[in-house]
Structure 1
Amino acid sequence: MTSEPTAARAEDREDSAERFAGIKQRGRAFRGAVAARPTLNFGYRIAVGVVGGLVLLVGIVTIPYPGPGWALVFAGFGILATEFVWAHHTLTWVRGKYRIVMDWYTSRGWFIKVLGAVATFALVVVTLWLLGTYSMVGGWIGVDWPWLRSPLMS
């Protein structure tokens, strides 16, 4: 009785592996067809560079904010790594450094964790102020206090 669910899961894994292999094979065939045409290949590489660069840039900007900052950084490098060797090396390096820092951070006591949370909160508050977010929202509700105005966006 216990072998049936295990056998079903094994079959599902095999089906998933076969589907993934088929998708991977079609992707390689598509990339080979694109690579065979130099002009199309050049345009494809430019498109991958632009999309990957934009995803990476959005990820870097959103790192201190709640949400998918680091995931977008890794996704951006992943997109770029499909076409550029330097991006693959950088992705490997960044992943390693990220793991080292997160292992260090999670192994610390509560004081360091609270300090990290407070520093992240302060960074978010300061960047929102510098970008003029508080004066913009204050303008929406009719509040025009001088200290809400950003020194950069005046």
Structure 2
Amino acid sequence: MIIGALGAVVVAIGILLIPLPGPGWLIVIGGLAIWAIEFVWARHLLQFTKDKVRGWTEWVKRQSLLVRVLIGLAGMVFVAAVLLTTLRYSFGVNVVSQAWHYVKTR
């Protein structure tokens, strides 16, 4: 019961952090690993997740440098978009508008 509750708390925290830049998915997987100690279904889901991540990693390693750079850039653009959206709608800070205003006044 304690393992189940601890895993649920870790998974819930990870899910809350997914929209933010950072280790949201990693925390969810950590919670899943805690659940896997006690629950067979979590063990199967964790193994499935590991297999998919390993497959993705191996596929990326086989790609040319250009493709790996493009994948990295796409990841950075995605994280930047999430960060800018979070700042805009959670804190009311429009970084793009402020940066544009700064550029125009210089």
**TM-score in terms of structure 2 length:** 0.68
2:75 equivalent to 1:120:
yes
Deviation at 1:49, TM superposition (A): 3.8
| Preserved CA contact (<8 Å) 2:14 2:27 | yes
Bigger Rg over Cα:
1
Q: Following superposition of structure 1 onto structure 2, how do residues 1-154 of structure 1 map, counting pairs within 5 Å?
A: 41=1, 44=2, 46-54=4-12, 56-57=14-15, 61=18, 65=21, 68=23, 71-131=26-86, 133=87, 136=91, 138=93, 145=97
Kindly report the root-mean-square deviation, in angstroms, between the aligned alpha carbons of the 2 structures. 3.5
* Unaligned ranges ≥5, structure 2: 101-106
Percent identical residues? 27
Deviation at 1:52, TM superposition (A): 3.7
Q: Residues 112-145 of structure 1: CA distance to partner in whole angstroms, max 9, x if unpaired?
A: 11111110111011111221x1584858xxx893
- Report how many aligned residue pairs link the two structures: 99
Q: Which has the higher contact order (CA 8 A, sep 6+)?
A: 2
Q: 1:146 to 1:77 in 2, by over 3 A?
A: same
* Unaligned ranges ≥5, structure 1: 1-40, 149-154
